[in-house]
Amino acid sequence: MAKAQLFVSQDEFTCSLCLHTLTDPVTIPCGHNFCLKCLTNYWDHSEECSCPQCRHTFTTRPELNRNSLLNEVVKKFKRPRLSPPPSQNYAGPGDVECDFCTGKKFRAVKSCLTCMASYCQTHLQPHYEIAAWKDHKLVDPDRNLKEKLCVKHQKGLEMFCRTDKMCICLMCVVTGHNGHEMVELETEREDKEKQTLSDIKRGLE
């Protein structure tokens, strides 16, 4: 599932004429996007009707209609993020780094047990905004995510086999633990905690 992730930068929503974020974006037949006003001005002052980016020439001037879908995407992109990472949020010694930052990495604020990756505040946004990712299991930053992967199948360890007393992934359930007594890892953890508390109370008594 991690391979399906998509992250965009401001450059992808920049008009190559004014070099600002697109305003009233229009898409011309060659597939490039510009601000409606910028492209209109460009063509009004050009001898031929061509794309400012790829130089493709049009025999007749294309009708310019605002790209509604792109306009909505740009609006969402311009919207202030929940908590944009300030400079002091760069990862330091002992911090978990964001797996998706390039160059100097920001400190991760969450790790995802579904994607098996850690995210800074900016790169975490899709987990709150994209419906398919809202069910992902987010936990506090964890530098040992690889230890939570099944060595055999490279899948997340989600189950506990009580028969073999080991953590297993869903592939293990089918391939090697059929008929065994199994519970979700979280359930086993809670049961162990309850048992430990019970043992402590008994010891105190």
Domain ranges of the chain: 10-78, 85-148, 159-204
Contact 107, 89 (CB under 8 A): yes
CATH of domain 10-78: 3.30.40.10
Confidence of residue 205 (pLDDT cuts 50, 70, 90): low
Which of 22-26, 86-90, 133-137, 146-150 comes out lowest in average pLDDT? 86-90
Tens-place pLDDT, residues 152-202: 776 777 788 888 888 888 888 888 887 888 888 778 778 877 887 877 777
Q: 85-148 domain in CATH 4.10.830?
A: yes
Q: With cut-offs at 50, 70 and 90, classify the pLDDT of residue 1.
A: very low
Position 8 confidence tier, pLDDT thresholds 50, 70, 90: low
E-strand ranges in 124-202 read 138-139, 159-161, 166-168, 182-184
CA 17 to chain centre: 30
171-191: b (≥16 Cβ within 10 Å) or e: ebeeeebeeeebeebeebeee
Residue, of 190 and 148, whose pLDDT is higher: 190
Note the pTM of the prediction, 2 decimals: 0.39
Whether 10 has a pLDDT exceeding 60, the answer reads no
C-alpha to C-alpha distance for 33 and 12, rounded to whole angstroms: 10
Q: DSSP string covering 53-91, please?
A: TT--B-SSPPP--B-HHHHHHHHHHHSPPSSPPPGGGB-
